[in-house]
Amino acid sequence: MIYDGLIIIRGGGDLATGTIYRLWKSGFRLLVLETENPAAIRRAVAVSEAVFQGTAQVEDMTAVLIRTAEEAGRVIDAGQIPVLADPKGECISRLRPAAVIDAILAKRNLGTHRGMAPLTVALGPGFTAGEDVDYVVETKRGHQLGRIIREGQAIPNTGIPGLIGGYGAERVIHAPASGTLRAIRRIGDLVTVGEIIAEIESREPAENGKMTGNGGQDGMRVPVTASLAGVLRGLIRDGYPVKKGLKIADIDPRKEEQKNCFTISDKSRSIGGSVLEILCAELLNR
């Protein structure tokens, strides 16, 4: 065991990072488990970027990639967040954490269960509180956001993003073809409707039938265009192998929100506050 009271968070995307940040600020000792190839869109505020870069800076918090779970103590002692590529959570039984937080946000349960730790919490739909995990936290924007569920499930996934600046589905961009993404614009850039923000090196036709240039090895480049005018809030990393239909970008129509591309969102902080409430109630009072 690395530490008494260790909290393991499964997932290091932007919504998970809000929880990680709140717990880190409150003094909890954390270990984040990620996949070997995270697909974060809001990369500027996701600790999962440490998997690619070795480190990731989110506001005043630093995440550091580790190769084995035994390295976590060193990183924790330095006041940082250890991130380990362990998508199946194979280290959990060995480390015997005080709590496991499923923050993968996959809209379905990828293996988290109550036997993993004395306390288990899941974010969003796909889990039943009291059966799969002890608690579920609502992640859907609106009046119920952050609600702590002790019995039952979160609101089912509708597939329609919450409204920001009056836009919902329009602000999310999905890959028009499978292939390798090549970024043209950067997170934080102001974009206009129809502007090319990226291209996908592909060997298959795009949904819109459009292809430009030569992608090499007889492949073509499929343009990815902005669905509306605003701030490019998120864009999957350059060189990422995408599947057709994968969410790859996010536009905020509120141009005045440009600086907030690089800070944790209100939604993420709200969810993190609910997880903090659960841990304080369950662990600090034992």
Question: pLDDT per residue over 104-153, tens digit each?
Answer: 999 999 999 999 999 999 999 999 999 999 999 999 989 999 999 999 99
Q: What is the pLDDT of residues 232-263, one digit of tens each?
A: 999 999 999 999 999 999 999 988 889 999 99
How many Å from the N-terminal Cα to the C-terminal Cα in the chain?
Answer: 19
Q: What's the whole-number mean pLDDT along residues 55-84?
A: 97
Which residue, among 104, 108, 149, 106, has the nearest Cα to 130 in the 3D structure? Answer: 149
Positive or negative torsion for Cα 62, 63, 67, 70: positive
> Residue 239: exposed, middle, or buried by beta-carbon count in 10 A (0-12, 13-18, 19+)?
exposed
| DSSP letters spanning 41-71 | SSGGG-GGGHHHHSEEEETTEEEEEESSGGG
Domains located in the chain, CATH noted? 7-158+266-283 (3.40.50), 169-253 (2.40.50.100)
The pTM for the full model equals 0.90
CB 41 within 8 A of CB 284: no
